Structure 1
Amino acid sequence: MNELRKLTIKEKALQINLRRDIYGSFAEIGAGQDVAANFFKAGGASGTVAKTMSAYDMSFSDAIYGMSDRYVCEPRLLKMLEHEYSLLLERLPHLADNTTFFAFADTLEALNYERTNKPHGWIGLRFQTKPGGDYNECILHIKMRDNDALLQQQAVGIVGVNLIFGCFFITDPEELLVSLVDGLAPGRIGIDMFRLNGPDFAHVDNRLMSLKLVKNGLTRAAMFGPNADVLQPSEALYKKNVLVLRGRFRPVTHVNVDMLLTARRHFKREPDVDKSKIVVLTEITLNDLRADGEIDDVDFLARVDIICALGQNVMISNYPEYYKLVDYLSAITRGRKIGIILGIYNLQRVFEEKYYTDLRGGVLEAFGALFGINVKLYVYPALKANSKEVYTLDNFELPENLRGLFEFLIQNNKLENIKGANMDNLDIISDNVLAMIKAGESGWEDKIPRQVAQAIIQDCLFGYPCAPEQREEKIKKLALKK
């Protein structure tokens, strides 16, 4: 595989062209026929290319693929793949016994003449791995970051060749993912959604691939829904009111659930929040996933399995600082309200000036982004260390030089105590619960939602030690609890 990874784009295209069992069509809209062009330039393209086409005029495009509200979106891409792939099967039945067919499509918004837009696009491949087999699909959303339209077209051409080559010649999903930017300087192309499915890839968990996108630096944030479907953040959060809870969720406790429920009630009461357009996100940073060393894929899936089972959307990000996360979300939501849920001790860390020494404006520069006109922080109470005193914004402790800044935020409705919190849960600390689970101690089940406890016991998550015959008995006992 290392030798394959060293191939140039021309060599990859040529290797495909020389295979007489790989044959298909190209449909490219929005940035020229740059992918197909690489196959023609490599030589021997007659053995690979059944058809190439572009339909730039909307009337022509609609006549071929059907009407669409938007032309650069996933539904449009899927229509293109369906149409082109179906034509291959319909018109080339005499080749079906010895040919693996493919249909490549992209729909792109390249940099406009005024350079005022945000270039992006959808790229996909529908393909067989054996003649007569069912098709697989690989779909990705890209962001084109070159400041020149021709360079963007060139980059798209490279990604397209890498995608086709990877789907036919690379068996490891993460290697396929990383190979998509082979031949490109870092930062020219971002990929914030990747989905690989089909009968030959039933073993691929695309939530894990979302993690790999962030881990490998292809994007700073990736997202999937409670049904485990990967989502493209800019589409899922566009003009939505977003409420975010950051955490390790190892495991989800009663405190996490109460933070979400109580903060959501506050958020819905905001006058500038459209209740019909609220999206709640549970967010995990790479730092939190690496808290115990290297990222453990099994541990990651254990966490997100539980979060998804609770009906929550998940975002994985490489934004350790809250203000950078808010800056990212603000660009997507287009001025809609953003709510950040955090515990009082996390707020105390937000005020620590040592985290902003790399900024010319220090804490003020960071807070300018964090507390923008559309942002509000909802603060969950805690118990003071070695005390039964409840710690809230009302008795918040911070250095005197920051007291004026804190009062300004309070007076301008940027910080709000979460009221109605379940005080009986304030002594629950997730690290302590995790230690109890690993040690096989009793009592941890009462500190987390019942369905979470059932999942931990059933699947022996988070190091829970249990023999198979013990699991059913413990789950039955949990089911009897109210």
Structure 2
Amino acid sequence: MAVNLEKEREFREMVSVENKALRINLNENIYGTFAEIGAGQETVRNFFRARNPSGTIAKTLSAYDKDFSDAIYGVGENKRYVTEARLKSMLAYETGLIEERISRAKHPNKLFFSYANTVATIDFAKKYKGHGWLGIRFQTKPKEEYSEIIIHVQFHESNAAKQQISLGILGVNLIYGAFYHHDDPVAILNSLYDHLNSHKIEIDMVNFTGPAFKEVDNRLMSLHLVKTGKTDAIMFAPDGNNVLAADLLYKKNILTLRGSFRPVTKVNLSMFQKSLELFKQENKVDEERILGIFEITLFNLRNEGEIDEKDFLDRADLLCSLGQTVMISNFQEYYKVVEYFSQFTRERMGLTMGVNTLIEVFKEDYYTHLSGGILEAFGKLFFKSLKIYLHPQKDPETGEIITSENLEVEQRTKELYSFFRDNGRVVDITDYDPDVLDINSRKVYDLIVNGKPGWEEALAEDTVKLIKENNLFQKKTKA
């Protein structure tokens, strides 16, 4: 398998952008339209430059003027143009025109497609870096229902001209991947960065749909983006579909619980619910705009070596079944989570933690890479009156209940800890359920994987049912 992957990588490196466009142009059956808004016609330009563009390009359109765009694709919600909804409207409209205007009787073997993007590049003042939506609707067989790939990108280059060039390359990679790698969506994701790198452009959301991807779980595609460094974090909704963080987090009050959730236990749910009740009471927290997030880091997923995709999906299935929004990130330090959220909202934030986690947060060793050390990290962590909601812990040997008042942090950070605690930034969850303090998720997991009884009382009833019905967290049998 490794050899095949290496050959695939070498093959992709040999295929230039020009040759990708040429290969598509020379395929007499691939035929479609290009609709590009906001950054010129950078993708289709590559196909015009290659030989035989007339064999591929049915039409190219740049409805740059907003009124003209509205006349074609309809008026978007809140008059916004760089949105997923606008992209999907463009794709549906353009493929509909192809079907309407091109005779299937005359072209029985044609594989129709529509490529579109709607983009805002960096502004003159460089206040907004630029972002955009790209997508393709395409067929892998004549007359087949359309499959679709939708991606969102963030631009990191410092001027619009460079961003336009990167957009054009990415568009060619997307079209080429759709037609020549549709049987391997991971290969599509990897090939999107041919002749690009994550320093130029960041893919932070992707969804595959349609008959070509009927076996694809988009949560695994999100995991791949984070695991391979294509983005720092991704989010998916309770229905399992990937969602764009910028849209989901916009103007939200955010409460986050980090954990392994292997599985999600009554103590996890109690921690979150009790902290949520406190969060709702905070000044300037609009209850109608609260978003709860269950975060799993790559470190959580790698705690026993390489990431096990089934294990990841088992955790995700349980969290989704409980109606939770899930975030996968590569943020080991909590201040990076807060920095990430603060890109999208200026509203109040809260973090739910256990005692051991808070003790770790106050260890100086985590922040030696920062010039300002732990003080710099905490300046970022306690952004906009952020508060930590601390769930107590029972000492397994003495039975003592440990709270913010009697926990022990490192000697060098005691005064710093006291400062934040005394100023109300660390809030004890006092209305806790004493029955959940004895739950040990590691022991619960071991009982489940070894088929032993006694774990059921540690989990919610619906979670127990789901684990048993779907054999979640079962050991792999050796071939």
- TM-score, normalization: structure 1? 0.94
Distance 2:432 2:263 in 1: 20
Residue of structure 1 equivalent to 2:5: none
User: Of 128, 131, 135, which residue of structure 1 is paired with 2:142?
Assistant: 131
1:237 is aligned to 2:243: no
Distance 2:364 2:231 in 1: 28
User: Of 40, 44, 49, which residue of structure 2 is paired with 1:41?
Assistant: 49
AA matched with 1:5: R
Residue of structure 1 equivalent to 2:73: 65
Deviation at 1:55, TM superposition (A): 1.2
Residue of structure 2 equivalent to 1:470: none
Residue of structure 2 equivalent to 1:473: none
Residue of structure 2 equivalent to 1:253: 265
SS in 2 for 1:306: helix
1:81 is aligned to 2:91: yes
Which runs of no fewer than 5 residues in structure 1 stay unpaired?
467-482
> CA 1:96/1:133 → structure 2, altered by over 3 Å: closer, same or farther?
farther
Deviation at 1:345, TM superposition (A): 0.8
Residue of structure 2 equivalent to 1:458: 469
For residues 9-60 of structure 1, give each alpha carbon's deviation from its aligned partner in whole angstroms, at most 9, with x where no partner exists.
1110100000010000000011110000011112211110001111111111
Alignment of 1:9-408 (within 5 A): 9-68=17-76, 69-94=79-104, 95-170=106-181, 171-333=183-345, 335-408=346-419
After the TM superposition, which of the residue ranges 367-376 and 25-34 deviates more from structure 2? Answer: 367-376
Deviation at 1:404, TM superposition (A): 2.2
Residue of structure 1 equivalent to 2:12: 5
After the TM superposition, which of the residue ranges 393-402 and 301-310 deviates more from structure 2? Answer: 393-402
Q: Percent identity?
A: 46
Deviation at 1:304, TM superposition (A): 0.2
Residue of structure 1 equivalent to 2:4: none
AA matched with 1:329: F
Distance 1:246 1:194 in 2: 23
Does the CA-based 8 Å contact 2:352-2:389 persist in structure 1?
Answer: yes
- TM-score, normalization: structure 2? 0.95
Distance 1:96 1:131 in 2: 9
Distance 1:256 1:142 in 2: 33
After the TM superposition, which of the residue ranges 11-20 and 87-96 deviates more from structure 2? Answer: 87-96
Deviation at 1:427, TM superposition (A): 1.0
AA matched with 2:83: C
Does the CA-based 8 Å contact 2:363-2:413 persist in structure 1?
Answer: no
Distance 2:430 2:204 in 1: 36
CA RMSD of aligned residues (A): 1.4
Distance 2:359 2:334 in 1: 13
Deviation at 1:385, TM superposition (A): 4.0
For residues 273-320 of structure 1, give each alpha carbon's deviation from its aligned partner in whole angstroms, at most 9, with x where no partner exists.
110011110000001100010001111001100100011000000101
Deviation at 1:147, TM superposition (A): 0.5
Distance 1:399 1:206 in 2: 42
SS in 2 for 1:315: strand
Aligned length in residues: 465
Deviation at 1:207, TM superposition (A): 0.9
Deviation at 1:409, TM superposition (A): 1.0
AA matched with 1:119: G
Structure 1 stretches (4+) deviating beyond 4 angstroms?
none
Distance 2:35 2:264 in 1: 45
> CA 1:399/1:291 → structure 2, altered by over 3 Å: closer, same or farther?
closer
Deviation at 1:451, TM superposition (A): 1.6
SS in 2 for 1:81: helix
Distance 1:357 1:265 in 2: 35
Which runs of no fewer than 5 residues in structure 2 stay unpaired?
1-7
SS in 2 for 1:164: helix
Does the CA-based 8 Å contact 2:362-2:410 persist in structure 1?
Answer: no
After the TM superposition, which of the residue ranges 90-99 and 200-209 deviates more from structure 2? Answer: 90-99
